Amino acid sequence: MRFAIPAAFAAMRSGLMAECRAARGQEFPRRGSEEVAAVKIDADFPGGNIVVERIDGDAVLLHQDLRDTAGDWFYWCFRVRGAEGRTLDFRFTRSAALGVRGPACSLDGGLTWTWLGAAAVKDKGFACTFAGDANEVRFSFGMPYQEDALKRFLDAHRDPSHLRVEELCRSRKGRGVELLRLGCLDGEPKFRALFTGRHHCCEMMASYVLEGIMAEVLADSEAGRWLRASVEFMVVPFVDKDGVEDGDQGKNRKPHDHNRDYHGDSRYPEVAALKKRVPEWVAGKPCFGFDLHCPWIRGREHEAIMSPSRARDPENWARLKPFLEILEKTRTGPLRFPLEVSEQFVSWDGKQPDPEEPARTASRWMLTVPGMQWAITFEIPYANASGQEVNQETARAWGRDFA
C-alpha cells in the first residue's frame, strides 16, 4: 500500500529536511517567554512517548519515558506545535536515543515518515528549523505503526474469501487484540504459517514487513495465488497491544515482557490466548512459525536483517536453513537478507545460550506445538540494513520478497 504525497507537501517536507540538516552546529539564541510558551511539545496521541524536562529559549531538554522498563531503552515519539519559522535544538539528556539515520519526521500526523539523516544529529540531540507553515511536526526514534495503520491496510485489502479479521482476546486495558486469518480459508490448506509481531511494542519497523507479507498473500500475483490456494496464515500483529497504543518501550517490561511470558502461567492475556488458540488451529498439521522483532540501535547484527535462532537451537536451524537460503537469493526490493550474519551470531551478550533454559520466548514456545516444522525469530533493523535505508516502503518491499 502506497500513500500519494501532494507536490506542495513533498516540497515542504524536503525543505524541512534540508533546514534540519543545515541547522547542525548553529548557535540558538534565547527567545522571549511569550514565544517559548507558544511552542507545545507533547505525546498525547497513540504511540506517543516523551518526557519534556524544560524549554530553555530554543533548547528543548527531554528524554524517553521508560515507565515500567527494567534498565534502559531508546524509544520515543513526540509532536511539536506552534514552532512555525523557529529553529529548535532538541537535546536528549539521558541515554542514546538517536539511530544511524537520525530521527524520523512526519508532517502529516504520522501517516508518512522520512529520516532527517545523520547530519541533523549533534551530540545527543538534533536541531530543526521549522517551515513557516509547519504547524504540527512529529519526530520519533523510528517510523511508528499503530492500530490506525493496520486499519488503513485492512480497509484497502478487503477480501472476505481470503482475509478475515477476528479478535484473539481483550488486552489488560480492555482493547481488542487483532487476529487475522489470510490465504486458504475455505478448504484444507497444505500448510499453515503463524506470524506474530510487537511482542516488544516499540519494534515498529517489523510491522511494515508484516504488512508487506500480507499484501503479497492477497496480491494478484503468481506467488499470491499459490499462497491463497495452499497456505492458511494466522497473524497477530500486536501481541503487546496496550504497549503499542500507549507508546511504551515494551522491551524488558517489569517483571518480564511479553516475549518472556511463554513458560508456565502467562501474565499477559495475549500470550495466554496464543498458547490456547495456536495448538487448536495447527491441530498437529504442518505449520511454520515466525516472530518478527527489531534489534538495538546500531552495530553489525543490528544493521542487517538477521535471525538469532541458530545459536539457541541448531537442530531447528538445520530444518529451516533451506528456506533461509532461498530467502537470501529472493530479492526484488532494495533490502537483502545476508545469511552469513545469522550464521555467525552467538548471542546478544556474547555468551553461549544455556540449553537448559525454559522456552520463555515466542519462537521457542512455537517449537513445542505439535505439527510445528520449524520456528524462527527475525530481526528487522530500524534504519539501516546492510547499507540500505530501511523505511516504510523498503520494509514493505522486503515483506513482499519474504512472502
Q: What is the CATH number of the domain that holds 81?
A: 2.60.40.3120
- What pLDDT score was predicted for residue 27? 37
Question: 155: which residues sit within 8 A by CB, 6+ positions away?
Answer: none
Residues 264 and 177 in one domain: yes
Question: 122: which residues sit within 8 A by CB, 6+ positions away?
Answer: 24, 25, 89
The total number of residues shown for the chain amounts to: 403
Residues 261 and 186 in one domain: yes
Cα three-residue angle 212-145-122, rounded to 5 degrees: 110
Residues 154 and 290 in one domain: yes
Residues 118 and 187 in one domain: no
Question: 35: which residues sit within 8 A by CB, 6+ positions away?
Answer: 86
Q: Please report whether residue 305 resides in a domain.
A: yes
Q: Which domain holds residue 83?
A: 7-140
Q: Please report whether residue 245 resides in a domain.
A: yes
Q: How many CB atoms lie within 10 A of CB 20?
A: 26
- What pLDDT score was predicted for residue 168? 99
- What pLDDT score was predicted for residue 30? 35
- What pLDDT score was predicted for residue 357? 76
Q: Please report whether residue 2 resides in a domain.
A: no
Residues 348 and 226 in one domain: yes
User: In whole angstroms, what is the distance from residue 144 CA to residue 80 CA?
Assistant: 16
Q: Is 85 left (phi over 0), alpha (psi -120 to 50) or beta?
A: left
Residues 128 and 256 in one domain: no
Residues of the chain whose pLDDT is less than 50?
A: 1-10, 12, 18, 21-37
**221, HSE (Cβ side, Cα atoms, 13 Å):** 13
Residue type at position 27 = E
Residues 118 and 179 in one domain: no
Taking every pair of Cα atoms in the chain, the longest distance, rounded to a whole number of angstroms, is 70
Residues 167 and 312 in one domain: yes
- What pLDDT score was predicted for residue 356? 65
User: In whole angstroms, what is the distance from residue 71 CA to residue 289 CA?
Assistant: 30
Q: Is 246 left (phi over 0), alpha (psi -120 to 50) or beta?
A: alpha
Q: Please report whether residue 188 resides in a domain.
A: yes
Are the beta carbons of 377 and 293 closer than 8 angstroms?
Answer: yes
Last-in-domain residue among 108, 140, 172:
140
User: Which of 141, 145, 94 has the alpha carbon at shortest distance from 121?
Assistant: 141
End-to-end CA separation in angstroms for the chain = 15
CATH of the domain at 177: 3.40.630.10
R_g over Cα of the chain = 22
What is the model's pTM? 0.92
- What pLDDT score was predicted for residue 175? 99
